[in-house]
């Protein structure tokens, strides 16, 4: 890995750390993206508007970055549309069942030494690894 | 309190904005980086450094902030307090992991990529939302403890 790539990853990670810090300091909430998205699907009211605002912020942030660095959004994973569709289904179903994803468990949960989040993070990392290995060794790297 | 709700919504927007910029800057909106992170024979350590950067900030800020009686714009904390390990937690995380390795997307980067118009991120977000709704529909039949 190039030094530049490492520095950008650290910088981006620190920005994410600042974002979840702001959410905690001002609103007293955990920034768990799967939880925010899943709960936003219920009927909106004034108490839940913050979830929509968060999601809008993410989309605007993505739009802004795409305008200045479209190369950061190139998807060369080689995964088929069918695989991506099934993956989305598994991620949606699994994150609600498991009460969180990379942000809620992996960053917020680990920062407060939550045993549940540690176990969840180890589990999704391990099964992610298995998933990639199965595609590589049994399906020749493409699905 | 009403004006606090407005301020909370404004903070949420900024948090989403900064989070998305962080994900893009760190390379997490490129699914192949995630797939390579999960593949030791062709390893891309980006995600490790993203986690180090984020945890480096939040491991320090979390205990400092929690020393306060309440958040700045709220009367109480909304932090999960559960400690119990359930089959549901592990099984759900396993399903998430399989999907994560399959597409190289987790929820945050997929949402951040929407505005790029990438068909795969659009498709992923659509089926992800469907999966979330599906879980809520099927939850009662799973016989898994909450």
Between chains, do A124 and B9 touch, taking CB under 8 Å as contact? no
Contact call for A12 and B51, based on CB within 8 A:
no
**How far is B126 from B130, CA to CA, in rounded Å?**
6
With contacts defined as CB-CB under 8 Å, which chain B residues touch A44? Answer: none
| pLDDT (mean) for B1-7 | 80
Q: Is the ipTM of this complex over 0.85?
A: yes
Q: Specify if B146 maps to a domain.
A: no
From residue A18, alpha-carbon distances to A13, A96, B58 in Å are 9, 25, 7
- Where in the sequence is the domain holding A84, given as residue range(s)? 3-139
The shortest CB-CB distance from A97 to any of B28, B88, B116 is to B88
Q: Residue A2 is encoded by which pair of tokens?
A: 């190039």
B144 located within any domain: no
pLDDT tens by residue, A54-111: 999 999 999 999 999 999 999 999 999 999 999 999 999 999 999 999 999 999 999 9
- Among the partner-chain residues B45, B47, B92, the one whose CB lies closest to the CB of A95 is B92
B130 touches chain A (CB under 8 A): yes
Domain count, chain A: 1
Q: pLDDT tens across A4-46, in order?
A: 999 999 999 999 999 999 999 999 999 999 999 999 998 878 8
Whether the model clears a pTM of 0.90, i.e. scores above it, the answer is yes
B114 touches chain A (CB under 8 A): yes
Number of folded domains in chain B?
Answer: 1
Domain range for residue B43? 2-78+85-139
Contacts of B137 in chain A (CB under 8 A): none
**Residues A104 and B19 sit within 8 Å (Cβ to Cβ):** no
Please indicate whether, in this complex, the C-beta atoms of B93 and A127 are within 8 angstroms of each other.
yes
Q: List Cβ neighbours of B30 (8 Å cut-off, separation of 6 or more).
A: A72, A73, A74, A75, A76, B104
Separation between Cα atoms, residue B48 and residue A61, nearest integer Å: 22
pLDDT in tens, B50-108: 999 999 999 999 999 999 999 999 999 999 999 999 999 999 999 999 999 999 999 99
* B145 part of a folded domain: no
Helix (H) or strand (E) holding A65: helix A49-68
Tell me how many residue pairs between chain A and chain B have CB atoms under 8 A apart: 482
**CA nearest to B121, candidates B39, B33, B29:** B29
């Amino acid at each position: 890995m190039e030094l530049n790539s490492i520095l950008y990853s650290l910088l981006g990670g620190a920005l994410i750390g600042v974002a979840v810090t702001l959410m905690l300091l001002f609103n007293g909430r955990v920034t768990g993206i799967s939880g925010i998205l899943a709960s936003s699907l219920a009927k909106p009211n004034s108490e839940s508007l913050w979830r929509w605002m968060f999601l809008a912020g993410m989309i605007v942030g993505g739009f802004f970055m795409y305008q200045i660095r479209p190369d950061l959004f190139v998807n060369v994973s080689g995964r088929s549309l069918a695989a991506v569709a099934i993956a989305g289904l598994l991620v949606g179903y699994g994150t609600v069942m498991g009460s969180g994803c990379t942000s809620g468990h992996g960053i917020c949960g680990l920062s407060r030494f939550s045993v549940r989040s540690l176990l969840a993070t180890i589990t999704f990392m391990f099964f992610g690894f298995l998933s990639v290995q199965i595609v590589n060794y049994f399906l020749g790297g493409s699905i | 309190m009403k004006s606090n709700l407005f301020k909370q919504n404004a903070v949420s927007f900024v948090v989403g904005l900064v989070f998305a910029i962080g994900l893009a800057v760190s390379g997490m909106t490129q699914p192949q980086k995630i797939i390579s992170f999960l593949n030791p024979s062709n390893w891309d350590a980006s995600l490790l450094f993203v986690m180090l950067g984020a945890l480096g900030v939040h491991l320090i800020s979390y205990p400092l902030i929690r020393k306060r009686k309440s958040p700045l714009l709220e009367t109480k904390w909304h932090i999960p307090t559960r400690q119990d390990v359930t089959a549901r937690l592990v099984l759900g995380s396993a399903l998430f992991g399989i999907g994560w390795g399959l597409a190289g997307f987790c929820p945050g980067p997929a949402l951040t990529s929407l505005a790029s118009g990438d068909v795969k991120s659009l498709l992923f977000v659509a089926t992800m939302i469907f999966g979330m709704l599906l879980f809520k529909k099927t939850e009662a039949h799973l016989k898994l403890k909450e």
